[in-house]
Amino acid sequence: MSPHWEHFSHDADMGVRGIGNSLAQAFEQAALAMTAIIVDPPAVRPAERVPIHCECPDQELLLVDWLNALVYEMACRNMLFSRFQLKIEDDRLTGTALGEPVDRERHRPTVEVKGATYTALRVKQRKDGSWLAQCVVDV
């Protein structure tokens, strides 16, 4: 199974779903799905590295915290991210988001993601051994 991401509709908001061979890969794909709501991910150069650390008591809360950390970094640094490198051990996520400052002419962002929510929140290992990480993000 190759890692991939999907969107799913939810009323006025948008669902993001990441699927990967590991928990970390599923989280990376969910982040890529979130980026794809804003912009075409290949249009974002992975030129700058931003370290991100999260710690939560369970995997579902860790997903929401991870996505919200990205929303915070995008807003504060005026950046978009297109690549992610994560390591998840126990309740701790250590990672790097790679991206570049927003160039409105080149990136043409369509919407702003305000935050990840607990709606449709799900993190689980599937029967085939792959991992799924999903939630709805507020747009």
CA–CA–CA angle 45, 2, 31 (5° rounding)? 45
Q: Report residue 122's pLDDT band, with 50, 70 and 90 as the boundaries.
A: very high
pTM assigned to the model: 0.95
Tell me which amino acid residue 23 is: L
What value does the mean pLDDT of the chain take?
96
Rounded-to-10 torsion of CA 91, 32, 2, 20: 10
C-alpha–C-alpha distance, residues 139 and 125, integer Å: 27
Residue 11: predicted pLDDT: 83
Using alpha carbons only, what angle is made at residue 33 by residues 67 and 62, rounded to the nearest 5 degrees?
25
Residue 9 confidence (pLDDT) above 90: no
Rg for the chain (alpha carbons), in Å?
Answer: 14
